[in-house]
Structure 1
Amino acid sequence: MDTGTHVVMGLALGGLATLDPAVMESSATASSVLIATIIGSQAPDIDTLLKLKNNAVYIRNHRGITHSIPAVLIWPFAIVALIYPFFPEANLPHLWIWTFVAVFLHVFVDIFNAYGTQALRPFSSKWVALGVINTFDPFIFSIHVMGLFLWALGAHPGYTFLAIYSVIIVYYIIRFQYKRIILKAVKKVIPDASEIIIAPTIKFHQWRIAVTNKHQFFVGRAYKKHVRILDQFNRVPIPKSPVLEVAKKDKNLSAFLSFSPVYRWELDEYDNYYEVRFIDLRYRSNGYYPFVAVVQLDKNLNILRSYTGWIFSEEKLRKKLDIIPG
């Protein structure tokens, strides 16, 4: 989920914790738990700082080890070790439990996005992405904010957020059912599909679709039960080209390939250089595919410059390539 949603979820968990008698019997425990749930709801996303280094490192590692099984167990100890000295009278076991719940919930809800997490590490490096909830879901965010307002107005936070989370569970079930309906609709349109990726958008009734069969890629949108194919591309295997083999070793393209399951590629030759471009087909927006990896090589197959990330116009991509050192 997005940072704002994780923040309100941390606050909500602090409110939900008031149902725990051990929390309510001590103001030190209640205060420390609220601080811990806010921090715990953010901690796994500390890897966002990797963006400051470069996109390749960020793409390879975001929602990776910081969202893994060992991390979910380690984060609560680290957070409690940070907070407890300021609240020595707090109930330590219950402080740890609610911190763990905050960290676990952060990783758990991220699994339902299209981006997903490597939550099964170290047992598997596979990305777990159920694709039923958008990274920012207006309903989930709004209902949390509503709960916080009710809390501020004097409502019991524990019962308020218990009711809200009951509603959210029903909402998740509805989203799963909705996705199954879209899946059936896609299979009717493309009966020989070998792989179907359905991703939510910020709009409740609208979904992104990327489909593969033996010979083609299909990109489309679904609105309610209706599927519309917007683009089709022939599947062209990547040849054993010296240019492509060198390009695939570039850190930016390598990171792209480690993350993107459905893409097409292009190889263009210019007077003084080659350009290799890989395009993720999952994120079509206004007729443009913004998530790309581009590598430029000279005629001797030395990499001149490269880039991977989100670019929403060709002009911006060219500017990015110009400022990246070769």
Structure 2
Amino acid sequence: MDTGTHVVMGLALGGIATIDPTVSAHPATAQAVMLGAIIGSQAPDLDTILKLRNNAQYIRNHRGITHSIPAIILWPLLISGIIHYFLPNANFFHLWIWTFIGVILHVFVDIFNAYGTQALRPFSKKWVALGVINTFDPFIFFMHIVGILLWGYGAHPGYTFLTIYLILIGYYILRFSQRRKVANAVNEKIENIEEIIISPTLRFNQWHIAVTTDRYFYVARSVNNEIVIHDTFEKCPLPESPLFNAAKKDKNVSAFLSFSPVYRWEVDDYDDHYEVRFIDLRYRSKGYYPFVAVVQLDAQLEIVSSYTGWIFSEEKLRKKLELIPN
């Protein structure tokens, strides 16, 4: 989920913790638990700082080790230990419990996005992505804001947020049902399907769809369970050639290929260099595919420049590749 949603979830968890008799009866513990719940609900996204290094590191590692099983164990211990150092009168065990729940909740809700997490590490590096809830879901965020407002007007925070979370459980079940209907509609429209990737959008009844068949990639959209196919691309595996072998050694291309499950590729041969482009088919927006990896190689197949990430115009891409002045 997005940072804002994780913040309000941390506040909600701190509110639910007031049902814990030890928390409600001890002000220092209540203060520590609120801090633990909020910080714990944010901690796994510490890897966002990798963006400051480069996109390749971010793409390859975001929601990876920081969302793994060892991290889920270590985050609560680290956060609780720091908070307890500054609030030594707080009950450490209850502080740890609610911080642990905050970390678990963060990783758990991220699994329902299309991006997913590597939550099974170190046992598996597979991305667990259920593709049911958008990274920012307006309804989920709105329900948390309602709970915070009711809390501010004097409602009991614990029972208020428990009620809201029961509603949200029903909402998740509804989203699973909707996604299943979309998948069934795709299977009725397209033959010889090998894989369907369905991603939620901000709109309740609209979904992005990328389909792999034995011969083609289909890029589609579901609107009220009606499947609209936007693009069809012939399925072409990566060639075994010196050019592509050199391109795949680039850090940006390597990160892209480790992350993207469905993409197509293009090659442009210029007078003094080659350009190889990899295009993720999951994120079509207004007729454009913004998530790409591009590498340029000279005549000797040495890498000249490269980029991976989100680009919404060719001009900006050229700037990233340093072909025109910034």
TM-score, normalized by the shorter chain, greater than 0.5: yes
Quote the sequence identity (%).
Answer: 68
CA displacement, residues 204-247 of structure 1 (integer Å, 9 cap, x when unaligned): 10000000101100001001111110000001121111111100
Q: Which amino acid aligns with 2:135?
A: T
Q: 2:31 corresponds to which residue? A: 31
- The within-5 A match list for 1:202-213 is 202-213=202-213
* Structure 1: gaps spanning 5 or more residues: none
CA distance in 2, matches of 1:184, 1:192: 14
CA distance in 1, matches of 2:191, 2:173: 26
Q: Which amino acid aligns with 2:151?
A: W
CA displacement, residues 279-311 of structure 1 (integer Å, 9 cap, x when unaligned): 000000000000000000000111000000000
CA distance in 1, matches of 2:86, 2:56: 39
CA displacement, residues 106-165 of structure 1 (integer Å, 9 cap, x when unaligned): 000000000000000000000000000000000000100110011011110000000000
CA distance in 2, matches of 1:129, 1:239: 29
CA distance in 2, matches of 1:90, 1:240: 62
Count of aligned positions: 324
CA displacement, residues 11-57 of structure 1 (integer Å, 9 cap, x when unaligned): 00000000111111100010000011110000000000000000000
Q: Contact (CA 8 Å) 2:191, 2:213: kept in 1 or not?
A: no
* Structure 2: gaps spanning 5 or more residues: none
Q: Which amino acid aligns with 1:64?
A: G
Q: Does 1:249 align with 2:249?
A: yes
Q: 2:141 corresponds to which residue? A: 141
CA displacement, residues 174-233 of structure 1 (integer Å, 9 cap, x when unaligned): 000000000000000113211100000011100000001011000010011111100000
CA distance in 2, matches of 1:86, 1:259: 40
SS in 2 for 1:38: helix
- The within-5 A match list for 1:1-326 is 1-322=1-322
SS in 2 for 1:72: helix
Q: Which amino acid aligns with 1:174?
A: L
Give the root-mean-square deviation of aligned CA atoms: 0.9
Deviation at 1:323, TM superposition (A): 7.6
Q: Which amino acid aligns with 1:81?
A: G
Deviation at 1:90, TM superposition (A): 1.2
Runs of 4+ in 1 over 4 A off after TM superposition: none
TM-score, normalised relative to structure 2: 0.98
